[in-house]
Amino acid sequence: MARSFFNLFLILLFLNLSGCMGEKERLVNAWKPGTSSGLFDEFSQSEFDEFRNEGINCIEIGSGVFSKKTQEEKETWVEDIRQKTEKSGIRVWSIHLPFSRIYDISSVNDTHRVNMIRECSDIIALCEPLDPQKFVIHGSSEPIADSARAERIANCIGSLKILTEEVKKYNARIAIECLPRTCLGNTADELVMIVNSVGNGLEVCFDSNHLLKEKPEEFAAKAGSLITTVHMSDYDGIDERHWLPGMGIINWTNVISELVRAGYNGPFMFEASRRKPAADGTTDKTKLTAEELVGSFNQLKNNYLGSLK
């Protein structure tokens, strides 16, 4: 009798493990590769078609594309991109909101902070025709002294409470990005605290290249289901580099394991430098291609799936 129960236990355990493995495979195989718009040269139809033909499904557009444009020119640009992405089959997944020492939602300068909130609100409204799911935002600029950190966090939380309410009008969400060095959100604990303090649907953008105080997989484990979009690239652990995965120190199977554990079901968005680093550490003049991004994605995915067997 005892042996029968033991055999039944083994069968149930096997079925449970098989089911878990099957769910993990299903989740990872559903991920689609995407890229930041920094790899685009001219945003032509042929570029969009080329990226889509190589396997890129999604794009994140940086708000720098609107710099030095009139309102009319901005609206024309958005409509042009709407038509091109629709024709090519590439989805505008996210918009990266502006950031600088002036464009800073945590600024102690009230005028700068109010202007940043207004600028973000304007971009959110402007991009409505593109139907993005996420608006990625930086919690601060830098440097931030320890003595100013509490005030800057409070300002960041106040600004995000306004913007998370604003973005609801457009059926989208704001995702605050983890950042390096002295920026706000440079650890999972601090970023999660900010997100929980804001509430109101605020989410997390996991940038694997920005974690200088903890490993990327450690951040992903703590942030968990708050992560709803990603910026994927590699680094040397000393500073952000935005290298193609595999050129730095990140254990990508561990990172993917934590994202799977968290149930991440968004696209695999690359934010890699448009120029590849050369073997001697200098910057190569060769431009990173969509084919290389998709090849990297497939390799990382296959490595992870292979680890399950």
pLDDT digits 0-9 by tens, 51-83: 999 999 999 999 999 999 999 999 999 999 999
pLDDT at res. 278: 63
Residue 162 scores a pLDDT above 80: yes
Structure confidence at residue 7 as a pLDDT band (50, 70, 90) = very low
Return the number of other C-beta atoms located less than 10 Å from residue 46's C-beta.
10
Q: What is the rounded average pLDDT of the residues 267-292?
A: 82
In the block, which residue shows the tokens 């993917």? 256
Residue 122 domain-assigned? Answer: yes
C-alpha 215 chain-centroid distance: 16
Q: What is the rounded average pLDDT of the residues 169-175?
A: 97
Residue 15 scores a pLDDT above 50: no
Structure confidence at residue 19 as a pLDDT band (50, 70, 90) = low
Query: Which tokens sit at 240?
Result: 């952000």
Q: What is the rounded average pLDDT of the residues 142-152?
A: 98
What spatial distance separates the first Cα and last Cα of the chain, rounded to whole Å? Answer: 32
**CB-CB contact of 59 with 85 (8 Å):** yes
**CB-CB contact of 87 with 45 (8 Å):** yes
Structure confidence at residue 218 as a pLDDT band (50, 70, 90) = very high
Q: What is the rounded average pLDDT of the residues 106-128?
A: 97
CA distances from 71 to 76, 171, 258 (A): 9, 23, 42
What SS3 class is residue 105?
Answer: coil
Residue 26 domain-assigned? Answer: no
pLDDT at res. 274: 87
Return the number of other C-beta atoms located less than 10 Å from residue 83's C-beta.
13
Structure confidence at residue 17 as a pLDDT band (50, 70, 90) = very low
Burial code (b: 16+ CB inside 10 Å, e: under 16) for 248-273 equals bebebebbbbbbbebebebbbbbbbb
Structure confidence at residue 224 as a pLDDT band (50, 70, 90) = very high
pLDDT at res. 10: 36
Residue 31 scores a pLDDT above 80: yes
Structure confidence at residue 125 as a pLDDT band (50, 70, 90) = very high
Residue 11 scores a pLDDT above 80: no
Q: What is the helix, strand, coil percentage profile of the chain, to 5? A: 50, 15, 35
In the block, which residue shows the tokens 């009139």? 70
Q: What is the rounded average pLDDT of the residues 137-163?
A: 98
Number of domains the chain is built from: 1
φ and ψ at residue 228, rounded to 5 degrees = -125, -5
Structure confidence at residue 286 as a pLDDT band (50, 70, 90) = confident
Tell which residue, 122, 128, 134, has the closest CA to residue 36: 134
pLDDT, the chain, mean: 92
Residue 16 domain-assigned? Answer: no
Residue 69 domain-assigned? Answer: yes
244 exposure class (CB count in 10 Å sphere: 0-12, 13-18, 19+)? buried
Residue 13 scores a pLDDT above 60: no
Residue 215 scores a pLDDT above 80: yes
CATH number of the domain within which 154 lies: 3.20.20.150
pLDDT at res. 276: 75
CA distances from 205 to 69, 80, 179, 208, 220 (A): 28, 27, 10, 10, 10
Determine the Cα–Cα distance for residues 200 and 163; give it in Å rounded to an integer. Answer: 10
Residue 95 domain-assigned? Answer: yes
- Sign of the CA dihedral running 35, 41, 47, 50: negative
Name the residue range of residue 258's domain. 32-275+284-307
